[in-house]
Structure 1
Amino acid sequence: MTPPGLRERKKQRMYQVLSDVAVRLFLEKGFDAVSVAEIAAAAEVSKPTLFRYFPAKEDLVLYRIADHEGEAARVVGEGPSPLAALRRHFLRGLEQGDPVTGLSDDPEVLAFHQLLYGTPALVARLYAHLERSEAALAEALGGDLDARLAAGQIVAVRRVLAQENWRRIAAGERAADVRADAVAAAERAFGLLAGGLPRFA
C-alpha cells in the first residue's frame, strides 16, 4: 500500500487539528455554547475553510470515532468465522481498554463520552454513524436479508456491552474492577449470537 503523499498528510493533520480544537472548546463551554466562528478563530482558519473539512458542527466531534464506522466490516474477514473474528476483536479491545468497548476510565475519555451522549444533536448523529456501520457489516456478511438481520443484532450487542461498561465506570467503578465482568458478559453475548446465527459462527 502506497503511503499518503504530503498533500494528503497535511489534509489529515488539518482534520485532526480542527477536531481537537473544537472538542477542547466543547468540553470547556458545552457544545451549544460554542459557535463555528469561535472554533475557526481558535484554530486560526476561516469559516469557509472549516466548513470545507467539516460541513456540520457535529462532524467535528464524530471525527474522533469515524474510523470505527467500518471496523466491524473489516474485522469479519480475519476469520475463522465472522462471529469468531468479532468476538476476538471485542475481547482484545477490552484487554487494551479501547474506549469503543466502554472499558476506559481515562478522564479525557470519560469527558468526551459525556459530551457525546449528553448532547442531543450528537446522539442523533451517532445513530446515523451506527446505521452506516451496520450497513457496512451487512454487506461484508453477504448483503442478503440474513446478513442484514445478523448485522443488526451484532451492532446492538456491541453497543449494549459498551454501554453497560460505561454505565458502571460513570457510576464510579474503576475499569480494572469492571474488566472481569465485562469479559464474561462479552463471552456470553457472543455465545448467544453464535447460537442464534449459525451461518456466521
Structure 2
Amino acid sequence: MSAGRISLRERKKQLTYEAVSEAAISMFLERGFDKVSVAEVAAAAGISKPTLFRYFPAKEDLVLHRFADHEDEAARVVSGRPDGTSPLDALRHHFLDGLDRRDPVTGLCDNPQVLAFHRLLYGTPSLVARLYAYQGRSEAALARALDPGAPVAVRLAAGQIIAVLRVLAEENWRRIDAGESAGQVYGDAVAAAGLAFVQLENGLPMPLPG
C-alpha cells in the first residue's frame, strides 16, 4: 500500500517535470531562450517561481530535461549487455540501432520539431555549457558501470567513449542543419560510427595526423 502511494507520488512528480519543461521549451522556441524569464515560465505552468526552482535548479535544466532519460543511457547499455558481449560491442550496436531508428540523440533526425529543438540547444551558449555537465555525469555513470571502483584508466575510457558519441551526433546534426536529409547522411553516419568504434577498440592512430 505504501509502495503504491510512493509510486503514484513519483509518477505525479515526473508528470510535473515533463509539463513544466515542455511549456518552457515551447516558449523558448517561440521567443528565444534569453527573452523568456523563469517567472514567465512559472506563470505559464501555474506554479510559483520557488517551486519551479525546486524542480529545475537552473533555467537551462528546463530545456535539458529532455536529456534526463539519456544521461545514464551508455551505462545502462553496458550493464544490460548480453553475456559474451563486450562493452564496446554493446555500445556500437546500440548507436547503430539508434541511427536506424533516427533517434534524435544520434543527431540523425530531420523531424522539424527535433530540428527546432536542436537549433535552440546548439544555438544558445549557456545551454551548450550546461549540456557538458550532463555529459560529465554520463561519463561518471559509464565508468561505474564498467568498473564500480572507477579507477583512472576506466574513467579515461568512459570519457573517450562519451566524447566519441558526442562527436558522432554533432557531425550528423551539423550536416542535417546544413540542409541534408537524414537519409542522405545515414550511410556516412554508419561508416563514421564504424570508424569511431574501431579507433576506440584499437587506440588512437600513432603518430596522429598533422
Name the TM tier (shorter chain).
over 0.9
1:174 to 181, 196, 202: 181
Distance, in Å, in 1 between the alignment partners of 2:183 and 2:202 is 30
TM-score scaled by length of structure 1: 0.93
Distance, in Å, in 2 between the alignment partners of 1:124 and 1:184 is 29
Correspondences of 1:112-191 after superposition (within 5 Å): 112-142=117-147, 143-191=150-198
Moved over 4 A (4+): none
Q: Does 1:192 align with 2:199?
A: yes
* SS at structure 1 position matched to 2:180: coil
Distance, in Å, in 1 between the alignment partners of 2:164 and 2:39 is 39
Distance, in Å, in 1 between the alignment partners of 2:170 and 2:38 is 30
Distance, in Å, in 2 between the alignment partners of 1:106 and 1:17 is 21
Sequence identity percentage? 68
Tell me what 1:13 maps to. 15
How many Å apart are 1:16 and its aligned residue?
0.4
Q: Which runs of 5+ in 1 are unaligned?
A: none
RMSD: 1.5
Correspondences of 1:92-111 after superposition (within 5 Å): 92-111=97-116
* SS at structure 1 position matched to 2:57: coil
> What is the number of equivalent residue pairs in this alignment?
196
Tell me what 1:76 maps to. 78
Distance, in Å, in 1 between the alignment partners of 2:167 and 2:57 is 30
Tell me what 1:58 maps to. 60
| Partner AA of 1:58 in structure 2 | E
Q: Which runs of 5+ in 2 are unaligned?
A: 205-210
How many Å apart are 1:6 and its aligned residue?
1.9
Tell me what 2:93 maps to. 88
Name whichever of 161-170 and 49-58 sits farther off.
49-58
Distance, in Å, in 2 between the alignment partners of 1:126 and 1:150 is 20
How many Å apart are 1:62 and its aligned residue?
0.8
